[in-house]
Amino acid sequence: MRTAELSQLRSLRGLKNISWLTKRQLDKLAAVVTVTTFDKRAIIFDESKTSEAAYILLSGVARITCRNRKGLRTMVIMVAPGMIPGFPIAVTGVNYNFRCEAVTKCQVGTVELNTFIEISLGIASADFKRMAANYLGRWDLVHLRCSNFMSCTLAERLAIALLELSENFGIPDRRGVRLTVPARHKDLADLVGASRPRVTEHLIAFELGHMIVRNDGRMVVRRERLETFLAGARPARLLRPRVKKAA
C-alpha cells in the first residue's frame, strides 16, 4: 500500500459513523479517497455537488448552514469527524441553499458516491437510492410542513441540542461530558431556532438546575440530568427562566 493510502487509512480508522466498515472495506476506501485541506471558513461543498460525491471529515470541525426565511445564513448542524450528512432532497418552490463550511482547518476525504456505496454495502448506488426512498419516504417534507410536530418547548429543543453536541463533541469529565468545541450562545440559538438572549436565559436556568456546568469558556453537559429533564421529571421553574422586570 502506498504511503498516501496508509495515511488515509489511519485517518479513516476510528471515525465514529463509519466504524462498522471492515478492514477490507477500509482498505478499499483508502485507495480511492481524495484528501483535500480546507482553511477555516472555507466552503467544503454546497448543494450543487452533494448528489455525486460522499464527503468524509477526517479532521477538524465543520458545520452545515442554510438560508432561513429571512434570507440570512444560519447554522443547522455541527459536524464532527466522520461521514458528512447529505443535504435534504430539494423541495419545489423552496431554496435553502445548504452548504458545508469549515469551522476550523479541516481535512476532507472525497469519493464518488457510487463507489462509496458499492464498497460499504456491496450494492449498486441506484438500488440503494431506491431502497432508501421507499423505506424512509419523504420525511423531510413532513419536517418542512410541520417543523414543530413534536411540540417541543425552547427548553426541550435546547436540551436536545446539548445532548447531540455532547454525543459528537464530548469527552469524559468528572462532572459529566465536556464539550471540545465552544458552545457559543449564537450557535446554539441557530440550532434551536431562537434568539440569543432567550437561549442565554435558558442556559442560566440549566446551570441553576445543575444540568450543565460552565467554566473557563467550556461547557460540561450532565447528560443524565438533561435526559431526566426531557423525560418529564423536571422542576417547573426550569421551563420559565427569570426575566428582568422593566424599571
pLDDT tens readout for residues 174-226: 999 999 998 899 999 988 888 999 999 999 999 999 999 998 778 999 999 99
DSSP code at position 240:
S
Mean pLDDT, rounded, for 1-14: 67
Residue 101 has pLDDT above 90, yes or no: yes
Average pLDDT of span 26-37: 91
**CATH superfamily entry for domain 3-139:** Jelly Rolls (2.60.120.10)
CA distance 128 to 112: 14
pLDDT at position 95 is: 74
Check whether 114 has a pLDDT greater than 70.
Answer: yes
Cell triple for 134: 421507499
Among the ranges given (4-18, 52-66, 141-155), the one the predictor scored with the smallest mean pLDDT: 141-155
Domain 154-239 has CATH 3.10.110.10: no
62/44 Cα distance (integer angstroms): 9
Q: Identify the pLDDT of residue 236.
A: 44
> Where in the chain are all domains bearing CATH 2.60.120.10?
3-139
Each as own residue / partner, the long-range contacts of residues 24-30 (CB below 8 Å, 24 or more positions apart, any chain) are 25/119, 25/120, 27/1, 28/119, 29/111, 29/116, 29/119, 29/120, 30/1, 30/5, 30/6
3-state class (DSSP) for residue 6: helix
CATH 1.10.10.10 boundaries in the chain? 154-239
> Residue 144: its pLDDT value, please?
60
Give the residue with greater pLDDT, 123 vs 93. Answer: 123
Quote the pTM value.
0.75
Percent of the chain with pLDDT over 90: 46
